[in-house]
Structure 1
Amino acid sequence: MRVAVADVGTNSSHLLIAEALPGETGDYRVIDALKDRTRLGECLDADGTLNPEGEDRLASALTRFRELASAAGVGDVRVYATSALREAPNGPEVAERMRERTGLYPAVISGVREGELTYLGVAQSVELGADNVLLDLGGGSLEFVRGDEAQARDVLSLPLGAIRMSRAYPETGKAGGRATVDAVGAHVRGALEPHAGRFRARPGTRFVLSSGTAEAAAEAIALRRGEGGSAINGTRLTLAELAQLLADLARQRPAARARVPGVERRADIIVGGLSVLHAALSLLGAQEVVVSEGALREGMLVEELARFQNFSSGLSTRQRSVLATAGRFGVNLAHAGQVAELSRGLLEKLLQNGELFPAEARSLLTAAAALHESGQIVSQSAHHKHSAYLIRHAGLRGFSPQEVELIALLARYHRKSPPKASHPEYQVLAPEHRALIARLAAILRVADGLDRAHAGSTELVELRRGAGGWALSVRGATPLDLAGARDKGDLWMREFGPLELQG
């Protein structure tokens, strides 16, 4: 299985394409990677609105990401956006325009979610201990994460990013000296002090840095040590070394700063960024840090592969044949797995509310969800009909001819027209099968809508039946997911009654 993930930051955007290695270890091999210096921070108006130039830069990057992923045999890219779009008043509108222009939807994630995923990526890159504190400095925000060897336990996101602080203190781009560093440091300490107790050093605490600023500092300090050419990941730096580098760079003019090996491409924001890191680390009592090249996108990748592995490990033998068929048709397996999980979850909640379904309903629904977009290998237009045709002739193992036909029709009705008496294939079914198809297709349509953004973030919370219909509570859904589920709730209303979404 191959997957592609991308993160959109304030300073740059990154794509990572990887392939899962055989077995159930969660290991992967990176196939390709691409960094685009989108510099969205330069394209924010006074109120944080992303201007048209910023949209063009982002659209260009996402188009390149999609083309590279497609060339690697990956049909979709999971894209998460952080501070720049998270805080932009027009962030949701920009995300929707990106989907229309590029086919990729940058789902905006919270600072806490960003910190959790980054910690997951760091855990794959450097050795963590029983107690670790991660500082992940982006262009717009700084995330603090405390956790153990396996996962994050406490996350804080503050608006202290390198670009944000460099814009707030423009002297950092000049030869500002000690006064500039002190001004930024005072701002950082004022913002962090109310929360510092959660992240202060304890006996045995390991501090980790993850950011372009930290990597640049590690490279520059390694060269000062005479260790040029060594890998950045895992490099250990002392707070004193960071302080000395910061002091030296702050005294230099921009032109001289741009010639310092390691920081050339970040010369305009390096002093602002290092000022933030030094002040935060000093306040937290860190004496030494380790630099991790693993970050948000690596965490996204690990989560994506784990999600798919968890889904596939719970499948029966015949459902595994469905998964193999989906792979053969180039189906986006991450989206298919998410829709299958949501479909099965909705079915289970309907059963808990007293709705009746035959025993085979879960298996049929899982197979249809995994294969509902298989027809896109033929054409996007009318792909639901192409999916039905391919399923009928795919040679699915373990299913009777009648079950194959039911799966094909479920995929046929995951979008566009609901089942009608004028559809010959539907009309020839036995009455009980027509009723089953309509009810399961209603579930599949809502589940597919709940992953309209292909962000894989929607989770079902509760489904309640009331006098006026149904209320479905979800979390993690993007605005596009919620709109997608509402748009595709027509058949649900016909079969079960009105559906109100709460997310």
Structure 2
Amino acid sequence: MKVAVADVGTNSSHLLIAEAQAGPHQQGDFRVLDALKDRTKLGDCLDSAGNMTPEGENRLASALTRFRELAAAAGVNEVRVYATSALREAPNGAEVAARIQARTGVYPAVISGEREGELTYLGVAHSVELGPDNVLLDLGGGSLEFARGNEAQAQEILSLPLGSIRMTRAHLAKEARGSGNRAAVNAVQDAVRQALGPHAARFQVRPGTRVILSSGTAEAAAAVLSGREGSINGVRFSVADLAGLLERVRRLSPGQRAKLPGLDKRADTILAGLAVLHASLELLGASEVTVSEGALREGMLIEELSRFQSFSSGLSARQRSVLATAERFGANLGHSQQVAALSRALMDGLIAAGMPFPEDARSLLTAAAALHETGLIVAQSSHHKHSAYLIRHAELRGFGPHDIERIAQVARYHRKSLPKPSHPEFMALPAVDRALVSRLSAILRVADGLDRSHTGQTQIHSLKRTSAGWTVQLSGATPLDLAGARDKADLWTREFGGLIFKVGAAG
């Protein structure tokens, strides 16, 4: 399985294309096939109200188009993209993301600082050796994330608006970026202490705590302090050495910084970045740090691969044959998996409320969900019909002709027209099968809509029957997902009654 993920930051956007490693002891492991960095500098494209400007939107659209084309050349049909501080804090961030999706076919899902910290920690855990207690600092252009956790996952996460670009603009005006600017550096560090102070106890360094840094600023510092070229993953240095580097950089002019190997690409923001890291580490009581090259996009990649491997290992033999067929036809397996999971959750809610389904309905629905977009290999237009055709001729192992026809028709109705008497293939089914296809298609349409962004973030917590119909409690759904589900709830309304979506963690 190949996966492409990208993160969109305040300063740059990064693409990572990788392939899952096969083997029983390699779950979550991957081999990088390609990578690309685009200095989108979205932080430079915000107006006085913080909105993303058309220039920023164009830069992001251009970068994501390149990412999509590179991924396609590697045999990956879709790129999963998460956007962080720049879009997260822009009042028009959601609108920009929707327009980007319409322009490029790639949706930059805006994630919270806490989610960013969780995924970054996961990427770090697969890049450097962690212990029972670890504190991670991940410095971006707009925000600084703190995470505390064990060898596998974060348990405490905090996101503060202390990014290097943000702090440069706030405290290091152009004239203050030159040498001898002690007052400006002090202002940056005072701002860090004020913001972090109330939370410092949660991330205080204890005996045995390992402190990890993940950021371009940290990598630049490690490169300078170690004198290494190439990878600096796992490089350690003391906070005292960092203080010395900060003082050295403070005394250099921007032109001199630009000539210093390792700092040349960060000459404008390196001073603020080093000041932020030093003040934070000093306040937390750290004496030594380790640098991780693994960060957000590696965490995204690991999560995606682990989800898929966990999902596929729980399938029956015939469902694994369905998954193999989906992969053969180039379907987006992450989206297929998510739609299958959401479909089953909706069906479980209906059954719990007393709605009857035959014993094989769950298996048929799972197969249709996994294969509903296989028709895209033929064409975007009418791909639901192409999917039905491919399913009928794919020779799915473990399914008889009767099963395959029902799977094909459920997939056929995942979009566009509802089942109706003018459709000869639908009317050729026995009445009991027509009723089942309609009901399963109703579920599939909503589930597909709930992952319209193809980000796999939506979770269903409950489905309850009400006097007005049904209410589904969700979390993680993007605005695009909610719009997609509402647009595709037409058949559900016909088959089961009205459907209302409520967003928020289950109470």
TM-score, structure 2 as length reference: 0.98
Q: CA deviation at 1:230?
A: 5.8
Percent pairwise identity: 68
Q: Where does residue 183 of structure 1 map in the other structure? A: 187
In 1: Cα distance, 2:72 partner to 2:441 partner: 30
Partner SS for 1:336: helix
- Quick one: distance in 1 between partners of 2:348 and 2:467? 21
Q: Deviation per CA, 1:407-449: give whole Å up to 9, x if none.
A: 0000100000010011001101111100000000000000000
Instruction: Find the aligned partners of 2:496 and 2:38 in 1 and give their Cα distance.
Output: 47
Match of 1:18 in 2: 18
2:418 corresponds to? 418
Determine the structure 2 residue equivalent to 1:497: 497
- The corresponding residue for 2:49 is 47
Q: How do 1:427-438 residues align onto structure 2 when only pairs under 5 Å count?
A: 427-438=427-438
Task: Give the SS at the match of 2:472.
Answer: strand
The one-letter code sitting in structure 2 at the alignment partner of 1:58 is L
Give 1:74's aligned residue: 76
Aligned partner of 2:229 in structure 1 is 229
Structure 1: which 5+ residue stretches go unaligned? none
Shift of 1:216: 0.6
- Secondary structure (helix, strand or coil) at the match of 2:23 reads coil
Contact between 2:470 and 2:500, CA under 8 Å: does it hold in 1? yes
Q: CA deviation at 1:48?
A: 1.3
Query: 1:31 maps to what in 2?
Result: 33
Secondary structure in 2 matching 1:15: strand
Q: Is the contact made by 2:172 and 2:184 (CA closer than 8 Å) also made in structure 1? A: no
| 3-state SS, counterpart of residue 358 of structure 2 | coil
Shift of 1:175: 2.3
Secondary structure of 2:52's counterpart equals coil
**2:308 equivalent in structure 1:** 308
- Output one character per residue of 1:344-393: Cα deviation in whole Å (capped at 9) or x when no partner: 11111111111100000000000000000000000000000000001001
Preserved CA contact (<8 Å) 1:177 1:247: no
Give matches, 1:31-430, under 5 Å: 31-171=33-173, 173-223=177-227, 228-229=228-229, 231-430=231-430
Q: Deviations over 1:251-274 (max 9, x none)?
A: 111111111110000000000111
Inter-partner Cα distance in structure 1 for 2:298 and 2:28: 12
Please, what is the CA RMSD of the aligned residues? 0.8
Partner Cα separation in structure 1 for residue 336 and residue 399 of structure 2: 19
Opposite residue 37 of structure 1, the aligned amino acid is: R
Q: Structure 1's 45 and 33: CA in aligned 2 closer, same or farther, altered over 3 A?
A: same
User: Residue 388 of structure 1 contacts residue 412 of structure 1 at CA under 8 Å; is this kept in 2?
Assistant: yes
Residue 307 of structure 1 deviates from its aligned partner by: 0.8
CA contact (8 A) 1:123 1:149 kept: yes
Distance 2:3 2:37 in 1: 17
Q: CA deviation at 1:170?
A: 2.4
Question: How far is 1:88 from its partner?
Answer: 0.2
> Distance between the aligned counterparts of 1:105 and 1:5, measured in 2?
11
Give the counterpart letter for 1:357 in structure 2: F
Contact 1:384 1:415 in 2 (8 A): yes
Deviation at 1:23, TM superposition (A): 2.2
- Tell whether the 8 Å contact from 1:20 to 1:28 is kept in structure 2 after alignment: yes
Partner SS, residue 99 of structure 1: helix
d(CA) in 2 for partners of 1:74 and 1:261? 35
- Cα-to-partner distance string for 1:26-74 (whole Å, 9 max, x where unaligned): 2111100111111100111122111111111101110000000000000
Confirm or deny: 8 A CA contact 2:51 2:92 kept in the other structure. Answer: yes
Moved more, 312-321 or 118-127: 312-321
Equivalent runs, 1:456-475 vs 2, <5 Å: 456-475=456-475
Q: What is the rounded CA distance, in whole Å, between the counterparts of 1:480 and 1:185 in structure 2?
A: 39
Distance 1:445 1:180 in 2: 56
For the residues of structure 1 that align with 2:229 and 2:388, how far apart are their CA atoms? 55
TM-superposed deviation, 1:173: 2.8
- Give the 3-state SS of the residue equivalent to 1:418 in structure 2: coil
- Which amino acid is the alignment partner of residue 202 of structure 1? R
What CA distance in whole angstroms lies between the structure 2 residues aligned with 1:68 and 1:206? 37
CA displacement at 1:231 relative to structure 2: 2.9
Structure 1 residues 176 and 460: alpha-carbon distance in aligned structure 2, compared to 1, 3 A threshold: farther
TM superposition outliers: structure 1 runs of 4+ over 6 Å: none
CA distance in 2 between partners of 1:344 and 1:318 (Å)? 17
Q: Specify whether residues 87 and 176 from structure 1 end up closer, same or farther in structure 2 by C-alpha distance, changes over 3 A only.
A: farther
CA distance in 2, matches of 1:286, 1:411: 56
Separation in structure 2 between the aligned mates of residue 26 and residue 496 of structure 1, nearest angstrom: 40
Q: Distance in 1 between matches of 2:399 and 2:415?
A: 24
Equivalents in 1 of 2:328, 2:487: separation in Å? 30
8 A contact 1:3–1:18 mirrored in 2: yes
Q: Alpha-carbon deviation of 1:222?
A: 1.2
Q: Judging changes above 3 Å, is the alpha-carbon distance between structure 1 residues 52 and 176 closer, same or farther for their aligned structure 2 residues?
A: farther
Q: Is the 8 A contact 1:415 1:488 kept in 2?
A: yes
Shift of 1:176: 4.4
Aligned residues of 1:311 and 1:341 also touching (Cα < 8 A): no
- The CA distance in 2 between the partners of 1:333 and 1:357, in whole Å, is 26
Q: Structure 1: how far apart are the matches of 2:241 and 2:41?
A: 28
Counterpart residue identity of residue 469, structure 1? G
Q: Return the alpha-carbon distance in structure 2 between the equivalents of residues 183 and 211 of structure 1.
A: 22
Give the TM-score normalised by structure 1. Answer: 0.98
Paired positions, count = 499
Q: Secondary structure at the match of 1:346?
A: helix
CA contact 1:173–1:267 (8 Å) conserved in 2:
no
Contact 2:465 2:471 in 1 (8 A): yes
| Distance change (3 Å), C-alpha of 1:230 and 1:87 | closer
Q: Do the aligned partners of 2:179 and 2:252 also contact (CA within 8 Å) in 1?
A: yes
SS at structure 2 position matched to 1:53: helix
Given that 2:233 and 2:293 are in contact with CA atoms closer than 8 Å, whether structure 1 keeps it comes out as yes
